[in-house]
């Protein structure tokens, strides 16, 4: 392992040095810092040109300028955006922070949804659900991201903000939505005719009840979860996680999941008091999340069962989900004040924050989330299509292997065959795809950031290139090139970790 890492890191550094040198030469050829002065009609044009040549050292060889820049960069001096006079370090710091927010949410959600839908589609091969997912995946994959972004701005922001002025949904629309939801769940779950009818009825009634609850309680004006919704949703998630991860035959895991939800409900009001009496921060929230996961893990250890690790895993997952609902509920409590501050139009269409908003931690967090909503959804829809196709193809290949037939022949139930033997191996190809996709997004979702005017890495690169500012352009290229090399090394390590057939050179 150490030999492998040493080799890859050494090769990566060599590749990075050569790539940086070539990129500097290409960028120097591509930009012309004197372009605006050449076309100038100023009487002191010659003096202005000479002053800029002296400022940017354009009278020196490009090789001299490269080694001068590289020496400063290695010591932590990223240079200056000469046109604006801003230091490149803070510019890159803010840009990469904005992009990381976008990338983290988009990657996690698209991966979870894409893999889940792709696996179900493979298990329902050639069914109505499979054909629908294939059509939707190819449709989303074919649509330009800027078109998706524009549609979301029109209907997800402007249209939804107009709806919030008078948030009333007609009852026939609610009924139609419930029927559509029932049909989707029916074709997704499949089974016998009786099972399909039962699934349709349960899904339709649940959807109708949920939307009717939102309508009758004026939830749009004062959105919240509260202990009741957290309890109901938490119990549903407890049964779902327990069933998928351990099977309903493992009663200890189910008891762990249900007990974790009850503990979360008991701690709901003490957590409200805690949030009211402390200065919140992202570090505090992360610490509380770790504590919640630890409590769920401990409960699983205490209940034990056939394998205490399974119970602990179920408890940790459910604890994280319940803690997330409590966290979101706390954010939603400031919605009325935020709604009034933005004059009834809370879903923004540009930027990453509202200027001069003020407010406490929860207001700022809600503001960041609303600004992330549409660009994140844009990236999710595009990435969802790709991950769905990858996971479907991988699952179909895995489920046709001999060891799957052997597992079934030995009498294992279908859940065990699919989740333990099929699903895990389905993730192996994604181990190489996801790290590289993440780095690609960190490089800047240029189109998405341009449409939503987010000051991320892509926007920094485009703006700096237009202004002929070589220092921020090179900082962007160095960071993205380094991350790309790191991503390839990480992909190899992850691949070796999840696939027992792969061994790294000693």
Q: Mind listing the pLDDT tens digit for each residue in 164-186?
A: 888 888 899 999 999 999 998 89
| Residue-wise pLDDT tens digits, 352-409 | 888 888 888 999 999 999 999 999 898 888 888 889 988 999 899 888 888 888 988 8
Q: Does residue 365 sit within a domain?
A: no
Q: Which stretches of the chain score pLDDT less than 70?
A: 442-445, 499-506
Share of the chain above pLDDT 90, in %: 28
pLDDT of res. 424: 79
Q: What is the mean pLDDT of the chain?
A: 87
1: exposed, middle or buried (C-beta count within 10 Å: 0-12, 13-18, 19+)?
exposed
Between CA 78 and CA 66 the distance in angstroms is 13
pLDDT of res. 180: 93
Q: Looking up tokens 């399974």, which residue turns up?
A: 310
Between CA 34 and CA 47 the distance in angstroms is 12
Q: Does residue 54 sit within a domain?
A: yes
Q: Looking up tokens 């004059």, which residue turns up?
A: 343
Phi–psi pair at 86, nearest 5 degrees: -90, 145
Q: Does residue 289 sit within a domain?
A: no
| Residue-wise pLDDT tens digits, 250-261 | 889 999 999 999
pLDDT of res. 289: 94
Q: Does residue 20 sit within a domain?
A: yes
Between CA 218 and CA 212 the distance in angstroms is 10
Q: Does residue 160 sit within a domain?
A: no
Q: Does residue 23 sit within a domain?
A: yes
Taking only Cα atoms into account, the Rg of the chain, rounded to an integer number of angstroms, comes to: 27
pLDDT of res. 504: 61
pLDDT of res. 444: 53
Q: Does residue 493 sit within a domain?
A: yes
pLDDT of res. 264: 94
498: exposed, middle or buried (C-beta count within 10 Å: 0-12, 13-18, 19+)?
middle
Q: What share of the chain is helix, strand, coil (3-state, %, to 5)?
A: 80, 0, 20
Full DSSP string of 55-113: HHTTTS-HHHHHHHHHHHHHTT---EETTTTEEHHHHHHHHHHHHHHHHHHHHHHHHHH
Between CA 395 and CA 387 the distance in angstroms is 12
Closest CA to 346 of 223, 164, 167, 218: 164
pLDDT of res. 172: 92
pLDDT of res. 499: 67
Q: Looking up tokens 């292997």, which residue turns up?
A: 401
Q: Looking up tokens 């659900």, which residue turns up?
A: 129
Between CA 75 and CA 363 the distance in angstroms is 38
Q: Does residue 37 sit within a domain?
A: yes
pLDDT of res. 287: 94
Name every residue whose Cβ is closer than 8 Å to that of residue 460 and which is 6 or more positions away in sequence.
91, 92, 95, 444, 472, 476
Domain of residue 469, residue span: 2-91+443-498
Contact 461, 27 (CB under 8 A): no
Between CA 457 and CA 484 the distance in angstroms is 14
Between CA 33 and CA 464 the distance in angstroms is 11
Looking at residue 190, the DSSP 8-state letter turns out to be -
Contact 471, 88 (CB under 8 A): yes
Question: Quick one: tokens of 381?
Answer: 């829809």
In the chain, the number of structural domains is 1
Q: Which region holds residue 468: left if phi is over 0, alpha if psi is between -120 and 50, else beta?
A: left
pLDDT of res. 500: 65
Between CA 203 and CA 186 the distance in angstroms is 8
Q: Looking up tokens 């039962």, which residue turns up?
A: 198
The model's pTM: 0.84
Contact 207, 178 (CB under 8 A): yes
Query: If DSSP codes are grouped into helix, strand and coil, which group holds residue 427?
Result: coil
pLDDT of res. 258: 94
Between CA 101 and CA 213 the distance in angstroms is 32
């Amino acid at each position: 392992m150490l030999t492998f890492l040493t080799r890859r890191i050494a090769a990566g550094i060599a590749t990075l040095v050569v790539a940086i040198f070539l990129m500097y030469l290409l960028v120097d050829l591509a930009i012309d810092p004197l372009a605006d002065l050449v076309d100038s009609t100023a009487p002191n044009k010659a003096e202005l040109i000479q002053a800029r040549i002296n400022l940017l050292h354009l009278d020196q060889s490009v090789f001299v300028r490269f080694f001068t820049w590289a020496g400063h960069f290695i010591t932590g001096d990223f240079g200056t955006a000469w046109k604006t006079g801003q230091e490149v370090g803070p510019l890159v710091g803010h840009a990469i922070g904005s992009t990381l927010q976008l990338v983290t949410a988009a990657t996690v959600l698209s991966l979870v949804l894409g893999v889940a839908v792709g696996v179900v589609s493979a298990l329902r091969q050639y069914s109505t659900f499979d054909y629908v997912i294939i059509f939707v995946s190819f449709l989303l994959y074919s649509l330009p991201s800027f078109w998706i972004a524009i549609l979301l701005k029109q209907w997800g922001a402007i249209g939804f903000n107009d709806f919030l002025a008078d948030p009333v949904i007609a009852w026939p629309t609610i009924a139609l939505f419930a029927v559509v939801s029932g049909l989707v769940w029916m074709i997704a779950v499949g089974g016998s005719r009786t099972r399909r009818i039962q699934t349709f009825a349960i899904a339709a009634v649940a959807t109708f009840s949920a939307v009717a609850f939102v309508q009758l309680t004026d939830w749009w004006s004062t959105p919240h979860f509260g202990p009741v919704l957290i309890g109901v949703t938490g119990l549903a998630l407890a049964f779902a996680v327990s069933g998928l991860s351990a099977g309903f035959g493992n009663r200890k895991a189910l008891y762990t999941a249900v007990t974790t939800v009850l503990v979360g409900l008991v701690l709901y009001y003490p957590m409200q008091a805690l949030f009211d009496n402390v200065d919140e921060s992202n570090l505090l929230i992360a610490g509380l999340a770790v504590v919640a996961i630890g409590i769920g893990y401990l409960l699983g250890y205490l209940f034990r069962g056939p394998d205490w690790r399974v119970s602990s895993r179920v408890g940790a997952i459910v604890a994280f989900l319940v803690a997330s609902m409590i966290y979101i509920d706390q954010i939603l409590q400031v919605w009325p004040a935020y709604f009034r501050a933005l004059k009834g139009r809370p879903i923004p269409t540009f930027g990453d924050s509202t200027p001069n908003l003020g407010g406490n931690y929860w207001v700022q967090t809600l503001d960041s989330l609303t600004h992330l909503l549409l660009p994140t959804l844009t990236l999710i829809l595009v990435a969802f299509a790709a991950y769905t196709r990858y996971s479907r193809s991988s699952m179909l290949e895995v489920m046709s292997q001999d060891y799957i037939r052997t597992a079934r022949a030995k009498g294992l139930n279908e859940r065990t065959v699919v989740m333990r033997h099929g699903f895990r191996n389905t993730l192996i190809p994604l181990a190489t795809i996801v790290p590289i996709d993440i780095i690609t997004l960190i490089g800047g979702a240029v189109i998405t950031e341009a449409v939503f005017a987010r000051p991320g890495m892509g926007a920094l690169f485009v703006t700096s290139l237009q202004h002929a500012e070589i220092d921020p352009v090179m900082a962007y290229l160095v960071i993205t090139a380094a991350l790309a090399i790191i991503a390839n090394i990480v992909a190899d390590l992850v691949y070796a970790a999840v696939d027992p057939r792969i061994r790294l050179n000693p």
